[in-house]
Amino acid sequence: MIDVTLPDNSKKKIKEGTTGLEVAKAVGIKDALAMKVDGEPTDLFAPITAHAKVEFITFASSEGKEIFRHSTAHVFAYAIQELYPTAKNTIGPPVEDGFYYDYDDLDITEADLPKIEEKMREIVTRSEHAARVELTLDEVKKIFRHNHYKIEMASEFFLAGGRLSAYKIGEKFIDLCKGPHIPSTSYIKGFALTSVTKAYWRGDPRNKQLTRVYGISFPTEKELKDYIFQKQEAEKRDHRKLGQELELFMTHEVSPGCTFFLPNGTVIFNELVAFLRKEYGERGYKEVITPVLFDRQLWETSGHWDHYKDNMFLTTVEGREFSLKPMNCPSHALIYKTHTHSYRDLPLRLADFGVLHRNELSGVLGGLTRMRKFQQDDSHIYCMPEQVEAEMINLFTFIKKVYIKTFNFLYRMELSTRPEKFLGDSKVWDKAEAMLQEVLEKNKIDYKINPGDGAFYGPKIDLHVKDAIGRSWQLATLQLDFNQAERFDLTYEGADGRKHRPVVIHRAILGSLDRFIGVLVEHFAGKFPLWIAPVQAILLPVADRHLPFTEGVAGKMRSQGLRVVIDSRTESIPKKIRDAQVKKYPLMITIGDKEESQQTLAIRTVDGKVKFGVSIELFIAQMAHAVASRSLDFSV
């Protein structure tokens, strides 16, 4: 008998050679896909032959999803083998949102996908078992003698010292793979092939162009249906599409990765800034405006030149090297340094909405969510070490006010620790990480550790926000930095009369304002809360004779700071309402003979709720109150 140690440190005695699948059943784990034996991922159907620590891998983990979807890719390849026997498979890896497989000699379109899916269902229904086999290079050349791609990959892997392995499904299909794999095709209950495209072998345009098929898979049919629903919702909510339809912003090839905010989008941007400025006033922040262009010397002092240069836009002016700023922190350090500081001056909270530029690769740019030019609600808090906890608690309160009360977002927090390349002393990093971990735990905040993903100058807490259809977005960030004060020789005079180094907290509550707007567009599907909507109400006169009265109502509304427009076209009211709903105006106000004679309004919301005979003065007061209080809901 041998001992298996489970993740909760409990032990179970098993017979030598018992498989992981048998152990999983014995301890009541029904959803295991693979396992780790002493930390090494392996197949669930592999025998356990010695004392070992065993951890089961499920679909809930990213590792489990990769194993499951790579196994599905093999089922897809099996189906292709049966339907198109002359096609040559190359690679079929899992990706962030499913899997793909590249093929030579496979001439198919998306119209062929249902037929392939049907064949995959047949294979799944047969419950064919997977088996791992070790191969020599000669065996690979024999098995895949008609597929030079497999021989090429195996030869390179063999020369690099790797062990060649393959996985069989049943008796008919075999493919090179390092594994692990799910035990049987029957595990795959929900799957779909999503698209067909082209890709060059190994991504090199000098090589042959292959057919690439994308797919997705889940352990249950329900998860697949939920995924398809979310995908459809995401397409409807895509901020790039809605941004054009609602005339929020535009892009142009002359400035890739940069956004032109149109008047409607600029309203949203300015409302967010106004909201934050009000909060800053209540929370003791001091706003500054800093330059965009800085000499190389500043970036050498800050450490960006060594650690971030590839992400910076560089230029030479009169023989001097400059960069557009990717971050505000070095310029704030210069501001701090212009005066001597006492412990009585701290914390000093500097805020900055300055324009930032980062040299992102064109392939990762995407609407407002990944850009080269953007603005953050950036701030740097200079404080004493003993003030860090109180400042972090204040920031947690600030985050709650913004995300939960104002926008009704749910979120989770991640603590990102020291990266491979970092500034400063590892002991200082350990101290900073411990401080952040302690303040999270003392305040009973759930978090997960994200190893190695900290900024190069300090650990950070990142906020991951869940939107209306369950997607996660990384927005706010709180970063603790013991290095900046050292590199810029920043000091304050302590109560003991001696010089001390301040701690710097880098923080952005919304993160990138541009990115936050993109997330808001998708979260609300373009139906913004009244206070932030570019146009808060549209007035619809029934006929030209109602226009003077309508203009009078609009004037009263504008005098209260409300954003209203008048649709004076000679179209029918139903047509005007349909057009206003497409533009997602929160309120549509119809004015005809009855309204003019009774001095009332007929109100329709974007969701179709209608109310007649509404008092003009009362309605304007209600709107103004909802806007001033930044209410999420407004009912008439």
509/514 Cα distance (integer angstroms): 13
Contacts of 459 by beta carbon, 8 Å cutoff, 6+ apart: 415, 416, 417, 418, 429, 432, 433, 436, 479, 480
Q: Clarify whether 283 is annotated catalytic.
A: no
Helices 388-400/426-442 angle, 10° precision: 50
Q: Clarify whether 506 is annotated catalytic.
A: yes
Phi, psi (deg, nearest 5) at residue 139: -65, -40
Q: Can you give the C-alpha Rg of the chain in angstroms?
A: 30
Instruction: Find the catalytic residue in 36, 506, 507, 584.
Output: 506
Q: Which residues pair with 379 in a beta bridge?
A: 351, 507
> What's the one-letter identity of residue 523?
H
> What's the one-letter identity of residue 3?
D
107/120 Cα distance (integer angstroms): 18
480/483 Cα distance (integer angstroms): 9
End-to-end Cα, the chain, rounded Å: 73
> What torsion do the CA atoms of 459, 461, 462, 463 make, to the nearest 10 degrees?
180
362/256 Cα distance (integer angstroms): 8
Instruction: Find the catalytic residue in 43, 175, 377, 378.
Output: 378
Q: Which residues pair with 290 in a beta bridge?
A: none
Phi, psi (deg, nearest 5) at residue 356: -120, 150
Q: Are residues 225 and 190 in contact, defined by beta-carbon separation less than 8 angstroms? A: yes
Contacts of 121 by beta carbon, 8 Å cutoff, 6+ apart: none
> What torsion do the CA atoms of 446, 450, 456, 458 make, to the nearest 10 degrees?
30
DSSP 404: I
Instruction: Find the catalytic residue in 212, 372, 418, 460.
Output: 460
Instruction: Find the catalytic residue in 36, 150, 175, 329.
Output: 329
Q: Clarify whether 329 is annotated catalytic.
A: yes
Q: Clarify whether 460 is annotated catalytic.
A: yes
Instruction: Find the catalytic residue in 358, 370, 515, 523.
Output: 358
Instruction: Find the catalytic residue in 81, 376, 479, 484.
Output: 376
Both structure tokens of 508: 């952005």
Both structure tokens of 519: 């997330």
Q: Clarify whether 232 is annotated catalytic.
A: no
292/331 Cα distance (integer angstroms): 9
Instruction: Find the catalytic residue in 212, 357, 380, 576.
Output: 380
> What torsion do the CA atoms of 155, 157, 160, 165 make, to the nearest 10 degrees?
-110
The closest of 463, 456, 461, 508 to 482, measured between CA atoms, is: 456
HEC secondary structure over 217-271: EECCHHHHHHHHHHHHHHHHHCHHHHHHHCCCEECCCCCCCCCEECHHHHHHHHH
Q: Are residues 149 and 201 in contact, defined by beta-carbon separation less than 8 angstroms? A: yes
Any alpha helices (H) in 238-367, and if so which ranges?
Answer: 239-245, 263-283, 296-302, 304-307, 329-337
Catalytic residues: 329, 358, 376, 378, 380, 460, 506
